[in-house]
Structure 1
Amino acid sequence: MKSIKWNKLRILVTNKCNYQCPFCHNEGQEKGVKFSMMSFDSFKMLIDFLNDQQISEINFSGGEPFLHKEIVKMICYADQHMKCDISCATNLSLITDEQIDILKGTRVKFNIQFPFISEKEFSKSTGTGNLYNIIDKIKIIKKSGINIGLNTVIQSPDYLSIENIIRFALENDLPLKLLPQIGLKGSNQFVYNIRPMLEKNAVSFIDKGTGALKWIIQSGDHQTSVLYIDSPCFRRDIKTCRNYGEIRVLPDFKLQSCILKEANVQLNLDEGKVMLLINLKDYGTTSINAKGV
């Protein structure tokens, strides 16, 4: 059995979230459906089937993954049975000190949903989020030794707020990922205003060829990286999209190759490893996108 065509696996352990972000596409999951949680036993079976595959990263996501009571067990199981990178996209509002203490023994990296550095705007954007609570947890996680970075969805041409987030990331040596909101009018032009902000403190730059632009920025004793995701979704750029090589496994084990496409293939783990790999190989991002979005 040849290796599957994609190399990044995004596992959506739940479709439920305690935030109410207006820009959120919830990873493209169908809206208005009942809340669901991925079974831990099925998750273990999936990891056991994939532990010899050439996967570069497993990314836990949702919804908010820490609404899943067994998310720490899932991360630990992946850490013990997979050799790839492990990341977790979370708003960080629900994690406990006990969970942090367990996870510091793994190689997980947290990617934190961080829309604003203004208390008022942060609360307005998330609906229930508390900026200072999140900043405190970021400090605790950094002190624990867990790798952590910020993800900011750019929701408007309010470039001052973006400049403030860049400054916060730099002052705290936090990697930052900037993602223009998909579907927002004019968001495909944001890069032209944000690029000069980054270039004034840049010590290096690389176009990664995947729709991602990366700067290393520095000021005084502080240095960090900023990744700008110029999403191929804006242009229906299939060629660039293929470079992401990512597929999503939804809480009910349906497969989704793109947030703009419906999940219409159901994985049945009881059929065994060979059938699972055949289904994943046939539904890989490369093969799907080759036919068009």
Structure 2
Amino acid sequence: MKDSLGREIDYLRISLTESCNLRCIYCMPEGVAPKVCGETLTKENIFDIVEVAVELNIKKIRLTGGEPLLRQDIVEIIQGIKDRGIEKIYITTNGILLSEKIEKLKKAGLKGVNISLDTLDREQFNYITRGGDLERVLQGIEKALNLNLEVKINSVIMKDINENAIEELAKLTLNSQLDVRFIELMPIGQGKKFTGISNNDIYDRLEKIFEFDRNYKEIKGVSTYYKLKNSKGNIGFISPINSCFCETCNKIRLTSDGVIKRCLNSKGNTNIKEYLDKNVEKEEIKEILEQEIFKKPERHLFGKDNKDEELKNMNAIGG
């Protein structure tokens, strides 16, 4: 369906958990108590929402976290979403558990995976993730590629942290059928403690090192894609801070505890789980979701005086 500004909203992101097996420095503090089970969307909650979303012409669903692969019922969730009419099912993951679960996920209906990876340097990776195992992530990426899934690498570049990772990350696109996307650091939660590098600067740096294919430029949703000459994959830029893409935003979000978020950096207004747990009629759930989509704001307010600013860390938002 369309929002009040005429944008077609056909993409729903559902966070499955606030918990994570990493503690990335810009995402969450070292010690975070996960929500108890009763506060988190159940498998049945998710299926009820998906049934309504299909009626509202939602065509794509991405499962996020925290770390979605920590959910023991992740395969059943993907299968249930597919059974309810959604073909475009994706996950965003840190990749630690990907290798051991990817085959079952694909069989259940998974179409693609976004892996958060900010460096290929093991020492740097260990610092950013506070102890993550880079080898396990790389194994997961390789296995996903071998299974012919759509693979995208999401990379956040921070000043004085991993600026030197840009070139090596870009090189991944030369010989592998995957996209590397540079996402500007967003000033949310722990992210406010660091300084991001603008995507304009990243592009300029890459242009001094590589030759770009001047015949290729494509805008897909909130991403602008380029290609290095003779590369198999693409390099994408998602630039919420320095190049607002809100006019093309087609998504709405659901946190792991059921709060509907019209925009990433604004607080949610409605907890749909509270209605689902009371077994309200399907038409009422549909009306709630319909109204939330319709009221999606014109643009984000990063850097503005925003009384509705989201104060939670990214793992609690489902970014």
Query: What TM-score do the two structures reach when normalised by structure 1?
Result: 0.84
Kindly tell me the number of residue pairs found equivalent between the two proteins: 279
- Give the CA RMSD over aligned residues: 2.7
Contact conserved, 1:175 with 1:224, CA < 8 A, in 2?
yes
1:46 to 2:57 alignment: no
The runs of 5 or more residues in structure 2 that have no matched partner are: 4-8, 302-319
1:200 is aligned to 2:211: yes
Which of 248, 262, 280 is the matching residue for 2:267? 262
In structure 1, the partner of 2:176 is 172
2:19 to 16, 28, 33: 16
Residue equivalent to 1:80: 83
**3-state SS in 1 of match to 2:18:** coil
8 A contact 2:97–2:140 mirrored in 1: no
User: When you count strand as a share of all residues, which structure comes out higher?
Assistant: 1
C-alpha separation between the residues in 2 aligned to 1:180 and 1:227? Answer: 11
Q: Which stretch shows the higher mean deviation, 16-25 or 176-185?
A: 176-185
Structure 1, unmatched stretches of 5+, are none
Aligned equivalents of 2:94, 2:300: Cα separation in 1: 33
Which aligned segments of 4 or more residues in structure 1 are displaced greater than 4 angstroms?
none
CA drift at 1:281 = 2.0
Change over 3 Å in CA distance of 1:49–1:281 after alignment to 2: closer
Q: Which whole-Å deviations, capped at 9, do the CAs of 1:202-221 have from their partners, x for residues lacking one?
A: 254436385532112233xx
- Aligned pair partner of 1:71 in 71, 74, 79: 74
Match of 1:181 among 179, 182, 185: 185
Structure 2 counterpart of 1:274? 283
Deviation of 1:113 (Å): 0.6
| Match of residue 127 from structure 1 | 130
What percent identity do the matched residue pairs reach?
18
Deviates more, 1:210-219 or 1:166-175: 210-219
Structure 1 residue corresponding to 2:248, chosen from 243, 249, 261: 243
> Could you give the per-residue CA deviations for residues 187-210 of structure 1, whole angstroms, max 9, x where no partner exists?
463423424515723254436385
Q: Provide TM-score, normalisation by structure 2.
A: 0.77
Q: Deviations over 1:217-273 (max 9, x none)?
A: 233xx4111110111x557x5xx3142121111122111122221122111232222
In 1: Cα distance, 2:287 partner to 2:134 partner: 45
Amino acid at match of 1:90: T
The 3-state SS of whatever aligns with 2:57 is: coil
Aligned to 1:216: 227
8 A Cα contact 1:210 1:241, kept in partner: no
